[in-house]
């Protein structure tokens, strides 16, 4: 039996638990500093903006920017969103337009 | 979208909680569809790296971070050792240090319980749980986290056990779903000019860093931007 997978699983489970739980493990019952809520107020839009950009033009197997069919799907979804389409429809539009553009290219 | 509105709670706290549970679960659903598909691809990848279905499902259930798991298993597939794999996966999880601290004031109970509840934090549940005033809703975190977790673990099992060779995420256009959903989640957080400039600065640096081939640094830069904006706001 190959033990390598379980070694990786064990190690990554431990580090992930510590990283995700670090807040309460470190802080205990102490209060966070008073500037912290304001930091989070800016952190949230900044972090989400990073996620939008990296998932829209990032690429897992190539370095650099990858402008592909996702852009078309994103633009179409944006239009649907501006027209006040419900979220499931916006998502469907994104996937369908991306798939169609990719098939045509 | 509905998941980012504060739950209605005047008068009846139980009804407010129930509404928050439903709002979180509902907001998580479109993400879960995408996560299920990614879970299948992860299961397939893990199977190729000689993971048993139990090992793959254990990893998804206890780590519960797609990018980190993909990175770790990819290192093995490319011939790396278990230490290199674990380090790669851990580095991609560093962002949860910040996100975990951010959500801390919303959690309840003792140290251990809060640490365990924090495990349901992934980007999607964190974003769904965030209110526009910089606070977080614990109930929406837990309900969206559980729904996303079920999709991720179920997808992993299907991929690891089933006869599927690969899900064609590209052919189905599923890779466009995440950026769109994160865009929908960001919209309520752009209420003030300073939040908008923070988001724009972060988006610009993410574009630049992705172009330079180091997109993973963008998260750290976003934290620095938030620190800078907090610092500047202090003087006013």
Average pLDDT, chain B: 88
pLDDT-based confidence at residue B216 (cuts at 50, 70, 90): confident
Q: Is there a contact between B179 and A41 if contact means CB atoms under 8 Å apart?
A: no
Number of domains in chain A: 1
CA atoms within 13 A on the CB side of B53: 10
In this prediction, what percent of chain B has a pLDDT beyond 70?
A: 92
Answer yes or no: is A78 within a domain.
no
Query: Complex ipTM, two decimals?
Result: 0.87
Residues 95-114 (B) with a CB less than 8 A from some CB of A:
95-105, 107, 111, 114
What is the average per-residue pLDDT within B99-106?
92
B198 vs A45, A54, A95: nearest CB: A45
SS3 A64: coil
Q: Is there a contact between A21 and B116 if contact means CB atoms under 8 Å apart?
A: yes
In this prediction, what percent of chain A has a pLDDT beyond 90?
A: 61
Q: Is there a contact between A23 and B64 if contact means CB atoms under 8 Å apart?
A: no
Answer yes or no: is A1 within a domain.
yes
Give the pLDDT of residue B37.
Answer: 86
Q: Is there a contact between B201 and A46 if contact means CB atoms under 8 Å apart?
A: yes
Give the dihedral of Cα atoms B141, B96, B29, B187; nearest 10 deg: 90
Residue ranges covered by each domain of chain B: 2-177, 190-236
Summarize pLDDT for B10-55 with one digit per residue, the tens: 556 788 889 999 999 999 998 898 899 889 889 988 998 999 999 9
Residue A6's domain comprises: 1-30
Residues 25-44 (B) with a CB less than 8 A from some CB of A:
27, 29-30, 33
B202 vs A13, A50, A73: nearest CB: A50
- Residue B174 clears pLDDT 50, i.e. is over it: yes
Answer yes or no: is A85 within a domain.
no
């Amino acid at each position: 039996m190959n033990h390598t997978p379980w070694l990786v699983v064990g190690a990554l489970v431990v580090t992930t638990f510590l990283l995700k739980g670090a807040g309460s493990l470190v802080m205990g019952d102490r209060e966070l500093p008073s500037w912290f809520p304001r930091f989070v107020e800016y952190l949230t839009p900044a972090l989400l903006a990073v996620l939008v950009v990296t998932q829209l033009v990032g690429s897992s197997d190539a370095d650099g920017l990858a402008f592909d069919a996702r852009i078309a799907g994103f633009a179409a979804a944006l239009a649907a969103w501006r027209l006040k389409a419900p979220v499931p429809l916006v998502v469907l539009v994104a996937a369908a337009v991306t798939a169609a553009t990719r098939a045509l290219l | 979208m509905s998941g980012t509105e504060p739950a209605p709670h005047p008068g009846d706290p139980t009804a407010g909680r129930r509404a928050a549970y439903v709002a979180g679960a509902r907001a998580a659903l479109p993400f879960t569809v995408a996560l299920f598909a990614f879970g299948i691809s992860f299961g397939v990848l893990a199977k190729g790296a000689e993971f048993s279905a139990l090992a793959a499902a254990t990893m998804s259930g206890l780590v519960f971070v797609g990018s980190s798991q993909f990175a770790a298993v990819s290192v093995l597939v490319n011939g790396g050792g278990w230490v290199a794999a674990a380090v790669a996966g851990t580095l991609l999880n560093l962002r949860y240090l910040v996100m975990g601290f951010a959500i801390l004031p919303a959690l309840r109970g003792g140290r251990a319980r809060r640490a365990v509840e924090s495990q349901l934090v992934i980007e999607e549940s964190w974003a769904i749980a965030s209110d526009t005033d910089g606070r977080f809703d614990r109930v929406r975190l837990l309900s969206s986290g559980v729904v996303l977790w079920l999709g991720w673990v179920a997808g992993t099992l299907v991929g690891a056990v089933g006869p599927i060779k690969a899900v064609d995420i590209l052919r189905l256009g599923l890779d466009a779903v995440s950026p769109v959903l994160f865009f929908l989640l960001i919209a309520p957080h752009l209420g003030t000019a300073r939040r908008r400039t923070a988001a724009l600065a972060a988006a610009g640096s993410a574009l630049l860093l992705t172009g330079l081939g180091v997109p993973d640094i963008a998260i750290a830069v976003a934290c620095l931007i938030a620190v800078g904006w907090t610092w500047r706001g202090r003087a006013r």
